Structure 1
Amino acid sequence: MEAAQSRHQAAPGTFAAFARFVLCGGGVGLASSFAVAALASWIPWSLANAMITVASTLLATELHARFTFGAGGRATWRQHAQSAGSAVAAYVVTCVAMLVLQQLVAAPGAVLEQVVYLSASALAGVARFAVLRLVVFARNRSQLAAVGCTARPVRAAVARAEVQADAVVLCRAA
């Protein structure tokens, strides 16, 4: 059990994970918004958004696996696929927001487009954080799949007396 625990870093708390999510995902999202605007000058906006969404989702999923949620390494194909599902929802939200803007304002300026796009992205980002934390990078499920054992959640002191893990996976033969 000690070997399995030493291979995984401790999962950050919700506040720390959200701060890391904002730093990683927000940084990638901000860069993406400028990339979409630049690319949209050559190709249709929805196609530019789709291309940038794919690239930024791959990058952000890797950052979230390694840094945000303390998964301890590269993202798995399953995590990439699940993250892609939440990115598709975010893509739909940003597209709908931009389509609504175009219906309401005949010729929106670049600043207004950025405000609408970033606002829609922020809303979708909060929902993505919940999905990534509770489903995609859920610690117990990924640890169980890696070692093929059953789990019994227990509260345990980890490293120092004042630090407690929410759950430690104890494996036993099935």
Structure 2
Amino acid sequence: MKTTETPGPIASFIRFVVCGGGVTVLSSIVLVQLEARMSLLLANALITVVGTLLANELHSRISFGSDRRGWRMHLESTATAFAAWLVTSVAMLTLHHLSAHPAVLLEQAVYLTASGVAGLGRFLTLRLVVFAKKSSPLEPPVREEVVLAA
């Protein structure tokens, strides 16, 4: 197994946002194309599965420079996406429980805030748990050097 260099936290975060955002934009374009050929629910389910698998691979290889591959990595990474979905769903359900007809700006503010919190939580979980470099008992732990620009 070849080892790749782990990008620093800021580079990882930027890559995480670009990869995830890129897959989301691509998914929205493909969704429109598929919707013309099948039901919206089926198209969305297909796009969600394929988009999640693609994002998992991109995050593994690009965002976190990980050597992890296979179904276990996909299951762990997908679990973080599911947890993020739960966070945004609970936030929106809570808002609609507190206010039957919230203003559009309030609804967007709650959704975007929950998405940001969930995304940050997902990033931290992926970086620190799912794609963290594991050292064997015979090797010293992998340490990253932090370089501060003057």
With the length of structure 2 as denominator, give the TM-score of the two structures. Answer: 0.68
Q: Which amino acid aligns with 1:105?
A: S
Counterpart for residue 74 of structure 2:
80
SS in structure 1 at match of 2:6: coil
Distance 1:119 1:54, change over 3 A: farther
Deviation at 1:108, TM superposition (A): 4.1
- State the identity %: 49
Larger radius of gyration: 1
Q: What's the C-alpha RMSD, in Å, of the aligned pairs? A: 3.5
Deviation at 1:110, TM superposition (A): 5.5
Question: Alignment partner for residue 166 of structure 1, among 141, 144, 150?
Answer: 144
Query: Which has the bigger relative contact order, CA under 8 A and spacing at least 6?
Result: 2
CA distance in 1, matches of 2:128, 2:5: 16
Is 1:68 aligned to 2:63, yes or no?
yes
Counterpart for residue 153 of structure 1:
140
Is 1:128 aligned to 2:115, yes or no?
no
Counterpart for residue 147 of structure 1:
none
Deviation at 1:107, TM superposition (A): 3.0
Question: Alignment partner for residue 94 of structure 1, among 88, 91, 115?
Answer: 88
Q: Which runs of 5+ in 2 are unaligned?
A: 146-150
SS in structure 1 at match of 2:101: coil
Q: Which amino acid aligns with 2:144?
A: D
CA contact (8 A) 1:33 1:114 kept: no
CA distance in 1, matches of 2:26, 2:94: 23
CA contact (8 A) 1:24 1:64 kept: yes
CA distance in 2, matches of 1:32, 1:117: 19
Counterpart for residue 11 of structure 2:
16
CA distance in 1, matches of 2:15, 2:127: 12
CA offset digits 1:56-111 (Å, max 9, x no partner): 43232111012101125x74211111112212211211111111122233334665
Is 1:58 aligned to 2:36, yes or no?
no
CA offset digits 1:10-33 (Å, max 9, x no partner): 110111111111222244457779
CA contact (8 A) 2:134 2:141 kept: no
Counterpart for residue 132 of structure 2:
138
Which has the larger strand fraction? 1
Distance 1:32 1:132, change over 3 A: same
Question: How many residues in Structure 1 have an aligned counterpart in Structure 2?
Answer: 135
Q: Which runs of 5+ in 1 are unaligned?
A: 145-149, 156-164, 168-174
CA distance in 1, matches of 2:15, 2:76: 19
